[in-house]
Amino acid sequence: MLRVFRDDLLHSNRFLVTLELVPGREHGGKSVETVIQIAKDAFSDGRVSAVSMTDNPGGNPSLSPDVLGSEIFRLGMDVIVHFTCRDMNRVGLESRALQLAMMGMKNILALTGDYAGQGFAGQGAPVFDLDSVSLQCLMAMLNERIESSGDPDGFICGCAVSPFKYTEAESYAQYAKLSRKANAGAQFVITQLGYDVCKFTELIQMQQLMGIDLPVIGSVYILTPGVARLMHQGKIPGAIVPDTLLKTVQEEWRDPEKGRAAGIERAARLGVVLKGLGYRGIHIGGVHRRFEPVARILDRMQQIEHQWQDFLNDFLFSPPDGFYAFPSQQISAAISPDYGQHPVPIPFWEACHYRLMDITHTLFFNPDTLFAPLYQYLSRHIDSSRSGRMALHLIENVGKQIMLGCRQCGDCAIQHVAFQCPESGCPKHIRNGACGGSRNGRCEVHPDRWCIWRQAYRRLATVKKTETMMAGCIPPRRWELDHTSSWLNFHLGRDHQGASGDFARFCASRTSCGYPSARWHG
């Protein structure tokens, strides 16, 4: 069975090259033929370890990466399948994973995914039943089943990270979530797209500090004016093209031939810089018509790889007031990251809200409290009566609707998000950390709102508890509890914290690999 990417990743020192391909919206024809031809040429070239297949990029419908990937896989080219949580619930996700395993395609990039875009008759319903961390857990647990069945090759499951965040809160949230992904079983990392060498370096330094030993593949892209403009405007979530770079690209493309050559040269230079910084490989994007630009990038990299330090200044696209974990911005190790040293005061009402919720949670929802047995006894008594359940549910919902915008999920997770509701506050309902799509602290889906994980960091930084954002992994919501009392479910051990299912036990067994909190000043 073909295992080029697995062997290159785990059993060689080869510098990895992966190529991102984007299936079109048609089931056949020229767009499909073009993607397959690029893959054929990549296989013939011999320098590409795998092609990756995007999964409805931008949330818009396209040909399934599974079916197109299987065609390419049969040609001899190894495939990494993008696997997102946007369009399927956990039943569908597990079924899809089993299908991929049977097809032999076991290289997975596990992603929360972009928000739902436009499909038949309008916008699709966003699912997000799992997030990228709980999806990693699912894949790791499936690996246990695969191996127990006698198949020695389980999934090779990677994750994404976006180091190009320029507020302290967003930056911390990305690395905290990376810690959770590593705990959950991620085996490699692919970065989002950016052009800031200090941030690329920061990611390597943060992994060392957090004790995360995962190979990192850096994204490079052949920029065109149209794509650069979309990235600059934030319309491709997580990708960052600053003002100066956009203007440079637009100027280069006044002559299309010179523009293409400049884009290839920039990609090659960034590739050798990443190799020099210690990255395990590069992930090439922006290839839509033919393989020839990829070959030119790789040829050019061979010519200039020993000059990589000469190109560092080509990638110093830093915003004026951007946050860096290592403020010196030097390409060297630092003693500790600059998180939580100068917490930004939160508004008085928000501080009061957090303190009130924290005290309430400690008094009534702490399994170690002296009164826990009493609460369990009262909960069993109330739960045995229909009228008791209805009365408590009414009392609970009135207070939580006012304080939290409660959606009555019956499996409360506010304690994981600094006492904010991930169901009402996050369009993707993420319980394990921020997605990569926030921009300047604002939500990817609703830019007029702050990302709740940005708010969580600010709250936790004021009380020096930010390490809770990277502790373990949070099991997903239990849908069978919808519109029941989360208070009763907690005290009776029915919610995600007390449930004894395999998923909950797996998450509970995963301890944080994050760096000791004293070094984070938070």
Return the pLDDT at 515.
Answer: 42
Question: Residue 236 has which token pair?
Answer: 């491709």
Question: pLDDT exceeding 70 applies to what percent of the chain?
Answer: 95
Task: In whole angstroms, give the CA distance from residue 471 to residue 413.
Answer: 14
Name the DSSP class of 161: E
Across 84-88, 105-109, 509-513, least confident range: 509-513
Residue 374 has, within 13 A of its CA and on its CB side, a CA count of 5
Question: Residue 385 has which token pair?
Answer: 């009566």
Query: Following DSSP, what letter does each residue of 382-418 receive, concatenated?
Result: HHT-HHHHHHHHHHHHHHHHHHH-----SS--GGGGT
Enumerate residues 6+ apart whose C-beta is below 8 A from 72.
Answer: 35, 36, 39, 51, 53, 79
Task: In whole angstroms, give the CA distance from residue 113 to residue 92.
Answer: 15
Across 27-41, 173-187, 255-269, 290-304, least confident range: 27-41
Report yes or no on 256 lying in a domain: yes
* 3-state DSSP assignment of residue 291: coil
Return the pLDDT at 92.
Answer: 97
82: nearest Cα among 53, 47, 121: 53
Return the pLDDT at 31.
Answer: 86
At residue 396's C-alpha, the angle toward residues 465 and 90, to 5°, is 70
Among the three residues 315, 336, 368, which one is the final residue of a domain in this structure?
Answer: 315
Rg of the chain (C-alpha set): 24
Sheet strands (E) in 174-248: 188-191, 216-221
Q: Could you give the number of structural domains in the chain?
A: 2
Which amino acid type is present at position 418? Answer: A
506 pLDDT above the threshold of 50 = yes
Q: Do both 88 and 194 map to the same domain?
A: yes
Return the pLDDT at 518.
Answer: 38
Report yes or no on 36 lying in a domain: yes
| Tens digits of residue pLDDT in 109-121 | 999 999 998 888 8
Return the pLDDT at 345.
Answer: 85
11 pLDDT above the threshold of 90 = no
- Residue-averaged pLDDT of the chain: 91
517 pLDDT above the threshold of 50 = no
End-to-end CA distance of the chain: 48
Q: Do both 265 and 386 map to the same domain?
A: no
Q: Do both 118 and 231 map to the same domain?
A: yes
Q: Do both 257 and 380 map to the same domain?
A: no
Average pLDDT of the residues in 502-521: 59
Among the three residues 315, 338, 369, which one is the final residue of a domain in this structure?
Answer: 315
pLDDT band at 328 (very low <50, low <70, confident <90, very high): low
| Tens digits of residue pLDDT in 424-482 | 999 999 999 999 999 999 999 999 999 999 999 999 999 999 999 987 789 999 999 99
Q: Do both 247 and 163 map to the same domain?
A: yes
Q: Do both 149 and 290 map to the same domain?
A: yes
Average pLDDT of the residues in 211-224: 96
Report yes or no on 12 lying in a domain: yes
Answer left, alpha or beta for residue 56, where phi above 0 means left and psi between -120 and 50 means alpha: left
Report yes or no on 337 lying in a domain: no
Question: Residue 279 has which token pair?
Answer: 């990255």
Task: In whole angstroms, give the CA distance from residue 139 to residue 125.
Answer: 24
Q: Do both 297 and 377 map to the same domain?
A: no
Average pLDDT of the residues in 70-96: 95
Q: Do both 236 and 153 map to the same domain?
A: yes
Among the three residues 315, 334, 362, which one is the final residue of a domain in this structure?
Answer: 315
Residue that the structure tokens 């609460």 belong to: 375
Q: Do both 392 and 447 map to the same domain?
A: yes
Answer left, alpha or beta for residue 470, where phi above 0 means left and psi between -120 and 50 means alpha: alpha
pLDDT band at 2 (very low <50, low <70, confident <90, very high): low
Answer left, alpha or beta for residue 196, where phi above 0 means left and psi between -120 and 50 means alpha: beta
Question: Cβ(392)–Cβ(382) under 8 Å?
Answer: yes
122 pLDDT above the threshold of 80 = yes
Enumerate residues 6+ apart whose C-beta is below 8 A from 505.
Answer: none
| Tens digits of residue pLDDT in 330-375 | 545 556 788 887 777 899 999 999 999 999 999 999 988 889 999 9
329: nearest Cα among 342, 340, 343, 313: 313
Domain that holds residue 362: 348-520
Sheet strands (E) in 231-286: 281-285
Q: Do both 273 and 414 map to the same domain?
A: no
| Tens digits of residue pLDDT in 51-73 | 999 999 888 899 999 999 999 99
Task: In whole angstroms, give the CA distance from residue 248 to residue 232.
Answer: 12
Enumerate residues 6+ apart whose C-beta is below 8 A from 465.
Answer: 522
Report yes or no on 320 lying in a domain: no
Answer left, alpha or beta for residue 370, where phi above 0 means left and psi between -120 and 50 means alpha: alpha
308: nearest Cα among 213, 201, 194, 165: 201
Return the pLDDT at 75.
Answer: 92
Task: In whole angstroms, give the CA distance from residue 194 to residue 230.
Answer: 13
Question: Residue 253 has which token pair?
Answer: 């493309």
* 3-state DSSP assignment of residue 381: helix
Query: Following DSSP, what letter does each residue of 331-373 receive, concatenated?
Result: SS--SS---SSSPPPPPHHHHHHHHHHHHHHHHHS-TTSTTHH
Report yes or no on 342 lying in a domain: no
Q: Residue 120 belongs to a domain with what CATH number?
A: 3.20.20.220
Return the pLDDT at 326.
Answer: 87
Across 215-219, 269-273, 438-442, least confident range: 438-442
Q: How far is CA 385 from CA 372, 379, 380, 389, in A?
A: 21, 10, 9, 6
Report yes or no on 330 lying in a domain: no
Task: In whole angstroms, give the CA distance from residue 491 to residue 380.
Answer: 9
Burial 57-75 (b: 16+ CB within 10 A, else e): bbbeebbbbbebbbebbee
Return the pLDDT at 304.
Answer: 98
Report yes or no on 300 lying in a domain: yes
Strand 118-119 versus strand 122-123 pairing type: antiparallel
Question: Residue 115 has which token pair?
Answer: 């928000």
Return the pLDDT at 499.
Answer: 66
Residue that the structure tokens 């921009």 belong to: 439
Return the pLDDT at 1.
Answer: 47
Q: Do both 308 and 353 map to the same domain?
A: no
Residue that the structure tokens 């990443």 belong to: 274
Return the pLDDT at 335.
Answer: 64
Question: Cβ(332)–Cβ(339) under 8 Å?
Answer: no
Q: Do both 60 and 189 map to the same domain?
A: yes
